[in-house]
Structure 1
Amino acid sequence: MKNLIALMAVVLLFNACSKPPHVKKQNDFFTNLSSLCGQVFEGYSTFPTDPDHDFAGQLLVANIQSCEQHQIRIRFAVGHDQSRTWVISKSRQGLLLKHDHRHDDGTPDEITNYGGWANDQGTGWQQFFAADEATADMIPAAATNVWMLSYDPHNQVLTYDLKRHGKPRYQAQLKPAD
């Protein structure tokens, strides 16, 4: 009987200490993305195909420039506009993606620091970030936004994707710069 109680205690302790599978996948994603630190990727918008879209025909550059223990910063330039940085932070709550927008002088843009928490749908190379409450308050139309970041190590393609109301809104695909 004592052995059975001891075994049950060990099982309960193990279950209490184990992380849900999506937390491991988020940690794996963070580690995998960190392995790309220092790399620069270039590409173009793949959606929408509207030639009047602000990013249409603009060279896109993602520079994975800073990888710390709990934060990765990816500078995202659209043509000559280098005002955007994707910030992926790792905490006990999981992964958080924020979009940091700055003016040329470094001051924050009026609309900045929006994004959301990774959900449980991701993998070690792909994560989905659903808009958080602060984003919904700041940009009500973005309340249903889901951003996706992924990297395909076989084809060396970095993808940034945005869906709103479950429908495609924007996508960019980038490859290592020459």
Structure 2
Amino acid sequence: MHPAINRLAPGALATVLLSACASMDEPPALPATQEAFWDNLTSHCGNTYAGGLASSDERDEDFEGRQMLAHWAQCSDNRVAIAFHVEDAGAPGGWDRSRTWLITRNADGLRLKHDHRHEDGSEDAVTQYGGDTLSAGTARVQDFPVDAYSIAMFEREGLDVSLTNVWRVEVSPADAPGAMFAYQLTRRNDPTRLFRVEFDANDPVDTPPPAWGW
């Protein structure tokens, strides 16, 4: 303990420690547009929305025609976990529940990570990849270029095609007319690459079972 703190009276010391703990728990400040985006994102907490594939890249033909759900499974002051469920006749119970999007706020902005699990809850070899915002974005759109951790993992796993990934999250306030939520993938070195799923955020549906591992 710092000598100056050690000399404090017990009551004053308790005040200092409580203030320090409180400041550690407070969400870090964000640029105004990211604060607005965070407010929009958290306005959906607890809800589930139905959607589907909105892009037409032939590389995603396995997703065509499949029902999809986005479930705001957990919300805290600093993190939102959105489970991404995909209808799959070959998966247990007819659904692939392996994916969860994690959006966190930190001192440098917003971060998106992908939590991928197997049915038994164990982590997939390719998981916790994503990136951090490089700009303030807008109240409804934030981009997340691939980070160094993810690049190293993609190289290790032979996924060189993903080394220039940019993920996008779009969200409207829950009470906005025509509210929507979208997740999108593009690549800086491949202008033809587009994976995009959209959800009707005006019409909540029944809550699905938890994502695998959650």
| Length-normalised TM-score, structure 2 | 0.68
Aligned partner (choices 49, 64, 69) of residue 41 of structure 1: 49
Deviations 1:140-174 (A, max 9, x none): 32221111111233311111111112624200111
Partner of 1:27: helix, strand, or coil?
helix
Question: Which residues in structure 2 correspond to 1:7-156 (within 5 Å)?
Answer: 23-48=31-56, 50=58, 53-79=61-87, 80-120=95-135, 122-139=137-154, 140-152=160-172, 153-156=176-179
Structure 2 counterpart of 1:170, one-letter code: F
Question: Which residues in structure 2 correspond to 1:150-165 (within 5 Å)?
Answer: 150-152=170-172, 153-165=176-188
Task: Work out the CA distance in 1 between the residues paired with 2:35 and 2:60.
Answer: 38
Deviations 1:51-81 (A, max 9, x none): 9622111111000121101100000011100
Q: Tell me: higher relative CO, structure 1 or 2? Use CA pairs within 8 A at least 6 residues apart.
A: 2
Count of matched residue positions in the alignment of Structure 1 and Structure 2: 157
State the percentage of identical aligned residues.
Answer: 33
Deviations 1:1-27 (A, max 9, x none): xxxxxxxxxxxxxxxxxxxxx722222
Name the Cα RMSD after superposition.
Answer: 1.8
Structure 2 counterpart of 1:118, one-letter code: T
Task: Considering fraction of residues, name the structure with more strand.
Answer: 1
Deviations 1:33-58 (A, max 9, x none): 01110111111101125396221111
Deviations 1:92-147 (A, max 9, x none): 01110000000011110010001000121511121111100111111132221111
Which consecutive unaligned segments of at least 5 residues does structure 2 have?
Answer: 1-29, 88-94, 155-159, 206-214
Which consecutive unaligned segments of at least 5 residues does structure 1 have?
Answer: 1-21
Report if the CA contact (8 A) 1:39-1:64 is conserved: yes
Report if the CA contact (8 A) 1:41-1:63 is conserved: yes
Task: Work out the CA distance in 2 between the residues paired with 1:93 and 1:83.
Answer: 28
Structure 2 counterpart of 1:157, one-letter code: M
Report if the CA contact (8 A) 1:131-1:144 is conserved: yes
